[in-house]
Amino acid sequence: MSIQESEREDMIMSKKPVHEIRLGRIRAAIWENETQNGPRHNVTFTRLYKDGNTWKDSGSFGRDDLPLVAKVADMAHTWIFQYKPEAGESNGS
């Protein structure tokens, strides 16, 4: 792996979501990506669970998780449409 690839992976790993929403054990992380047309958002969903004494997450959801996934997705959708960068933040324009 080249130094450039390693630095890119470090940047990706250290990037944090711009917002998180959690209901129970279902979490949505909202990520912002800068594009030529301005910021765009993507959302990842995870289910938190405990394995012994360790908390882990999964991208797999059971039947009973789905109502909360839908609610968290709706909340993420609302947040993205209401999102306004704070004063002083660059918005790419």
For the chain, the domain total comes to 1
Phi, psi at 15, each rounded to 5°: -65, 135
Residue 7: pLDDT over 80: no
In a domain, 92, yes or no: no
Confidence class for position 12, pLDDT limits 50, 70, 90: low
In a domain, 1, yes or no: no
Phi, psi at 53, each rounded to 5°: -100, 5
Render pLDDT for 31-90 as a digit per residue (tens, 0 to 9): 999 999 989 999 999 999 999 999 999 999 999 999 999 999 999 999 999 987 764 454
Q: What pLDDT is recorded for position 3?
A: 55
Are 43 and 30 a contacting pair, CB within 8 Å?
yes
In a domain, 67, yes or no: yes
Interatomic CA distance for residues 35 and 56, integer angstroms? 32
Domain containing 18 equals: 13-82
* pTM, entire model: 0.74
Smallest CA-to-CA distance from 85 within 25, 41, 24, 36 is with 41
